[in-house]
Structure 1
Amino acid sequence: MKAKRSGRNIWRKRQPFGQQMKNTGGKGGVFMEPYWRWFMYQTKILPEQREKCLEYFGTPENMFIAPREKVEKAEFLSEPARAALLVSRTEEELQREEKEMTEKGIVFYSREHEAYPARLKEIHHPPCGLFVRGRLPHFEKEKKEVQAAAVVGARWASHAGLSLAKETAGALAEEGIPVISGMASGIDGAAQEAALMAGGESYAVLGCGPDICYPRHNAGLYRMLENKGGLLSEYPPGTPPVAWHFPYRNRIISGLSDAVLVVEARLKSGSLITADYALEQGKDVYAVPGRIEDPLSQGCNRLISQGAGVFCSLEGFLSELGLTNRNYENFRKNDLTLEKTESMVYSCVDFRGKSLEAIRMETGLSREAVLTALLSLELMDLIEEKTRYYYRK
């Protein structure tokens, strides 16, 4: 709804800028973006309060020109939020934001912009806008197949977990599937780097402004994402990484994805929050199983007990997603018929690796029988010997 001129100083002060932004594109036209951007710059307004703001004021433009009395009566906002809102409603502030965005190479897309991902509009509490460094992921509206997958997991991951994350992300990239994650240390960063190194795309959803590299040691990955993918955030430039931002941003990671894979996760891992959001959004969730005594596997095992898909093999995972990786076009492990001894040994080997002695103890087979089965499985490319007498799928 078009706001009426109130005759107040604030209208006269912004009128020249308003004339420049005269909306010729109807609702959601690109010329309305500065008001949405200004709205998202109001960092004292909590994310869950933004929908209430839109219900109360109608549009960001209405909020910008609303009488002071109406703003002061918005009791669902804190007093500091109302004060900051009133002070910032100037043409100078709009111009300052635009200058900052230009200087930092950041583009803003409100959820009414045509480039805003339609799939995000379907989630609970969709971000009102996204600040982007790089580019937004592109989705074909009519395409029903998987178009993006999230790979998430523990920050302090095991070597085997990191290796599996890289292998999976690389395979997804080869299939043209962008990898979505949070650029965190560990599984997230490893998966995103592998996707980019494989020539694919990856997009990071940040818990800070898109101009801030966090964690700092991921500076190289940050630059790669800017050039070959995108850095996305609902927080404006300059917003520092705050602890509560990260769990909440996870809804965007799952919202952009068709499937979520959790590689390693402790019982209180943030990755489980991403999985919860994914289930709430009707997305497919997969988890890599592991030993029950391994803390890094306990979160994944819980997800599986709750109905998540089991990641048994890379090719099996790709098949579940309706993909056929070129490395497995003519050779499917699931189609093989194994001898009883080979099957027993194969079931004991996991993605993290297991020693010959451990396999022998679990199967009850002789050392010679286990070695023969392992050699056969290696020749079929079902397992590999990572180090002497240490095997993994």
Structure 2
Amino acid sequence: MLKYWLWLTERPGLTNQVRLALLRHFGTPEAVYYADPEELLLTEGMTAAQVQHLAERDLSEAENILEACDRLHQHILTIQDAAYPDRLKNIYDPPCLLYWQGHLPAFDEEAAIAVVGTRSNTPYGVACAEKLGYGLAAGGALVVSGLARGIDSAALRGALRAGKPAVGVTGGGLDVFYPRENQYLYEDIAAAGVLISEYPPGTEPKGAHFPVRNRIISGLCVGTLVVEAPERSGALITAETALEQGRDVFAVPGPIDAPCSAGCNRLIREGAGLTADAWDILQEYAEAFPAKLSGTPRREEPAALGYQARQQQTKPARKVPPALDLKKTDLKLTDDQIMLLGMLGEEEPLLVDDLVDRTQLPARRVLSALTVLEMEHLVTQHSGKRYTRAVTLYK
């Protein structure tokens, strides 16, 4: 029963390795709960002090967690459940259980790629993270990241803007938004993909939680991409964990004198796969995941290019913007994107605030639509977050 799992995982003074040893020795948490102290001491690594912690048999905390999970629509996955990923189970220190919210994928069948990086990012790093998150997801990979401010959040936004699910692994309870401004991102991921945590509802994120969380991010994935990281960075801990788990590591190069790229440049120097676009990673797994990644285009092929680039392949350079027939285009534009294209002109840039006022759409939907339109070369961003249309709409 789940209450015994929660009792075991919430006992203070026990390391995850001791919990795993107890499960190996007794088989189930319920058997641990009813075991005598003498039996508990026979467990590998068990100390008398830890046995004292297990003497507390109150289940009220476990019942409170179950009630909170039910109220918040969170679910619990134990290491003995069939849906628990073998990929994660086979790491050195797999979590005994996970809390999740959303739609849990079959991770072992997914070309899951962790995309991580520094919180103290540069505009270059954010642009790369969004582009690569978008490209990986559009190419069939499952993007996994940590929901931290900066590179992690940018990668997840890119994946969602590709219309694909994404996975966010948190360092606190799934109902505790960290950072606060990521509340909408949490909600969007839960709606389209899944949120995962080792911590019960209400747990505040602590500094010590994040290095521990990193083993889950890399453990769920076949490869880890570091987009931007200085020499001392949590993202490099994730890369090191991935290597320890026998997973691939990739990195985005940066300027040789840029502090935020020093860690990435070192990883490449030490053998990490240099990544300039999503296909640099996807091609490594196309054979292993043919149903997911088959037909993934190389960057030089027309299907991998945006609208404007495809036009330039078949037509000579032209000074006037290309025409776009919204009824005949093969681009799958959303209603928000079509509305914004109609609002924008080709000469006078409009601020995002102006577009929010004119469309009456939430700012996050306007920004999301503009990002996709910019990736497709249908709009141009100018200084000050001002936009013009880069194509002439066919009438």
Please report the TM-score for the alignment, with normalisation by the length of structure 1.
0.69
Q: Secondary structure at the match of 2:228?
A: coil
- Cα distance in 2 between the residues matched to 1:122 and 1:282: 10
Deviation at 1:105, TM superposition (A): 1.5
- Cα distance in 1 between the residues matched to 2:8 and 2:297: 44
Q: Secondary structure at the match of 1:87?
A: coil
1:116 aligns with 2:84: yes
Task: After TM superposition, list the pairs within 5 Å mapping 1:1-393 onto structure 2.
Answer: 32-55=1-24, 57-67=26-36, 70=39, 76=46, 79=49, 82-90=51-59, 92-139=60-107, 141=109, 147-322=111-286, 323=293, 324-325=296-297, 329-330=301-302
- Cα distance in 1 between the residues matched to 2:28 and 2:276: 49
Please report the TM-score for the alignment, with normalisation by the length of structure 2.
0.69
Q: Deviations over 1:342-389 (max 9, x none)?
A: xxxxxxxxxxxxxxxxxxxxxxxxxxxxxxxxxxxxxxx9xxx9989x
- Cα distance in 2 between the residues matched to 1:250 and 1:66: 33
- Cα distance in 1 between the residues matched to 2:165 and 2:6: 26
Say if 1:162 and 1:186, in contact at 8 Å, map to a contact too: yes
The more displaced of 53-62 and 97-106 is: 53-62
Deviation at 1:233, TM superposition (A): 1.2
- Cα distance in 1 between the residues matched to 2:162 and 2:298: 13
Say if 1:40 and 1:236, in contact at 8 Å, map to a contact too: no
Change (3 A) 1:58 1:264: same
Change (3 A) 1:108 1:85: same
Number of aligned residues: 301
Deviation at 1:152, TM superposition (A): 0.5
CA RMSD of aligned residues (A): 2.9
Identity %: 42
Deviation at 1:156, TM superposition (A): 1.1
Structure 2 spans left out of the alignment, 5+ residues: 287-292, 306-375, 384-395
- Cα distance in 2 between the residues matched to 1:227 and 1:84: 39
- Cα distance in 2 between the residues matched to 1:234 and 1:300: 28
The one-letter amino acid of 1:311's match is T
Change (3 A) 1:225 1:314: closer
Change (3 A) 1:77 1:155: farther
Change (3 A) 1:205 1:140: closer
